[in-house]
Structure 1
Amino acid sequence: MLNIVLFEPEIPANTGNIGRTCVATGTRLHLIEPLGFRLNEKAIKRAGMDYWDDLDVTTYINYEDFLEKNPDAKIYMATTKAPYVYSDVKFEEDCYIMFGKESAGIPEEILVQNKENCMRIPMIGDIRSLNLGNSVAIVLYEALRQHQFAHMNTEGHLHRLNWE
């Protein structure tokens, strides 16, 4: 099982969407406080739809609390400051993929301590960043692809319509 970590997320709709993606993929969600919203807000429930109650989510009072409670975690950090591309990373089972808050990302002091595990999503020009929910989906699905989408439905079926 993979783990998504959001460092101090600020926008409830982003976190709700990410929560829904985590439910759809069997991924755990970890939220590092402070949050820019309350977990019982309508906006987070609306974005997560009726999936929020099925979400495996853990909150932490700060980054140090997260590290203390997950001492053996292999953590990859998504940042626009990284020299490596996310598709070059070989994601282990049970690894943690961290994303920073919408307005500032992961603090540089944390990135510097973990520079060998930092990765980026390629973009052109002066674009600062992608939407947090989109970034999580891009990287998470690459990690899932590397594990052959284990335990996921990989085939759909069309239902023939009777036009007569």
Structure 2
Amino acid sequence: MTNEIPNLRIALYQPDIPGNTGTILRMAACFGIGVDVIEPAGFDISDRSLKRAGMDYLEQAALTRHADWQAFQEWRISQSRRLLLFSTKAATPYTQFSFEDGDILMLGRESAGVPEDVHQAADARLIIPMVPGARSLNLALSAAIATGEALRQLQVG
């Protein structure tokens, strides 16, 4: 195992719920990974719920805001980073995928996921398997599951 800080990032596509975003920012700060928020978000980034969920970790979080999908894509391509989309529409279980340093773990909007063009732009589409009939997991929980597996595979901790 290594104690190096991973070069992973979490991207949130137009998040709707400030509490989820705050929780993800807190988790990312604890693991030393960056978060990209692709705007427009469904809330003001200074929202009290975001601050309450993130607690005192928000100042430590490496948050980058992108004006829109195109701005994020241009940045991502310029950085040569893979985009891994977590989606209930995916077929590949996240545990059967090989994560790499530099990956961006993307999660869609709580209310609607991501549009088809974003699905198509992803280098891989991954699913967190659930029992039949379950619709979806909470976004922050999904981010934690995805991050935990990526860190485990990269042997960080």
TM-score normalised to the size of structure 1? 0.87
Q: Distance in 2 between matches of 1:80 and 1:24?
A: 27
**Which of residues 87, 93, 106 is equivalent to 1:79?**
87
- Where does residue 75 of structure 2 map in the other structure? 69
Q: Report the secondary structure of 1:141's partner residue.
A: helix
TM-score normalised to the size of structure 2? 0.91
Counterpart residue type for residue 130 of structure 1: L
Aligned residues: 149
Counterpart residue type for residue 47 of structure 1: A
Measure how far apart 1:112 and its partner are. Answer: 3.0
- Where does residue 42 of structure 1 map in the other structure? 48
Measure how far apart 1:107 and its partner are. Answer: 1.4
Q: Distance in 2 between matches of 1:38 and 1:45?
A: 11
Matched, 1:91 2:71: no
Matched, 1:8 2:14: yes
Q: Which has the larger Rg?
A: 1
- Where does residue 117 of structure 2 map in the other structure? 109
Which segments of structure 1 move beyond 6 Å, counting only runs of 4 or more? none
Q: CA RMSD in A?
A: 1.1
% identical equivalent positions:
39
Counterpart residue type for residue 41 of structure 2: L
Larger RCO: 1 or 2 (CA < 8 Å, sep 6+) = 2
Q: Which runs of 5+ in 1 are unaligned?
A: 153-164
Q: Which runs of 5+ in 2 are unaligned?
A: 1-6
